[in-house]
Chain A
Amino acid sequence: MAKKKHKKKAFEIRWKTDLPYKYSMGKLSVKFFKVLKEERKLLGSKCPKCGKVHFPPRAVCAECLVLMTLDDMVEVPSVGTLVGFTVVNYPFVDPQTGGMRPFPYGYGLFQLDGVDTYTMHFINEKEVKNMQIGQRVSAVFKDKDEMEGNLGDIPYFEIIEEE
């Protein structure tokens, strides 16, 4: 973007960060992505005290302050219900790439069957009129050889017909 100094007082210093990070994922997340790739299944974590099933899986149940380990991971279905939806329609820079995230894109809140927490993720719908609260949705996985071991392996959820 060329800088035009048509206003004398607009003196700006522009720069772009490009910082590499190595985030430790934790044992539960590592297992989650491994099982997703090898068995095409989703795992959550279940609190041994209150029984609440958490998705995404995490190590601590917030209400009980109890540790959940690999043994507390349970399979969760990859289908659920649409609880809220929107179509994001404004430009912004995606900090992971430094470039604009393509829009519009569908974004929704789902509750997977049997899970006590909710999940926000992409939906492959760009028209509000095609979405309705209460519809059934299903997670879509990438092909096994394309999976990279991150959330992109579930590129989006799609709306499915009720049986």
Chain B
Amino acid sequence: MSQDNEKIYRGRIKVPYSHTAGKYVKKFLVEIGKNDRIMGVKCPNCGKVYVPPKMICFECFKKMDEWVEVGKQGVVKGFTVVTHSTPVMPLEPPFGYGIIRLDGADTDFVHIIKEGDPSKLNVGMRVEAVFKDRRQKKVTDIEYFKPL
């Protein structure tokens, strides 16, 4: 915490957290880890399929219990390529970051696209999820999406 610049106090906030994931996230990750499939939930009222899954359909405010499998492939709705570096980045730049609509889902999923050249990415292109070899029950078990 020492300061090399007199006018600034350099502080840090380091706190350990342990978040309860809940049944829906747990099932989502377990299905990826054990059964190699991506699951979402369907609203009994409006029929919307949410991926990643959650308990409440926020438009209808109803609990969702029906699980459906969605495809491992999807369409890119929007993307960017991250080229700058900060201390809290998940990966070394450049890397692509996209909004992906998986086949069968009605909500979008944000994840990494393994392509560092923006000219090779376009809205509407298809991508496929690539799973990690060793699953760790985290959302990064989907390591990245690869362009098809």
Contacts and interface: CB of A to CB of B under 8 A. Distances in A.
Interface in B1-57: 1-3, 6-23, 25-26, 29
Q: Is the interface of B mostly helix, strand, loop or mixed?
A: mixed
Nearest to B9: A23
Contacts of B18: 12-14
Contact of B13 (A15, A21, A152): A21
Contacts, number: 92
B7 A30 contact: yes
B25 A11 contact: yes
A150 interface: yes
B3 A11 contact: no
Given A13-B21, A22-B8, A149 B2 contact: yes
Contacts of A116: none
A96 B14 contact: yes
Interface string A122-163: 000000000000000000000000001110100000000000
A93 interface: yes
A52 interface: no
Contacts of A25: 7-9
Contacts of A24: 7-9
A149 B11 contact: no
Contacts of A29: 9
**For chain A, which range describes its interface: under 10, 10 to 19, 20 to 34, or 35 or more residues?**
20 to 34
A16 interface: yes
A149 B6 CA distance: 8
**For chain B, which range describes its interface: under 10, 10 to 19, 20 to 34, or 35 or more residues?**
20 to 34
Nearest to A14: B18
Contact of A16 (B16, B20, B26): B16
B16 A14 contact: yes
A16 B14 contact: yes
Interface string A99-110: 000000000000
B18 to A, nearest CB: 5
B7 to A, nearest CB: 6
Contacts of B25: 11
A98 B9 contact: no
A11 B22 CA distance: 7
B88 to A, nearest CB: 8
Nearest to B19: A13
A21 B15 contact: no
Interface in A7-58: 9, 11-25, 29-30, 33-34
Nearest to B10: A22
Interchain residue pairs A-B with the least CB separation, the first 3:
A98-B14, A11-B26, A16-B16
29 contacts: A11-B22, A11-B25, A11-B29, A12-B19, A13-B18, A14-B18, A15-B19, A16-B14, A16-B15, A17-B14, A17-B17, A18-B13, A18-B14, A19-B13, A20-B12, A21-B11, A21-B13, A22-B9, A22-B10, A23-B11, A24-B7, A33-B6, A34-B6, A93-B16, A96-B11, A97-B14, A98-B12, A98-B15, A149-B3
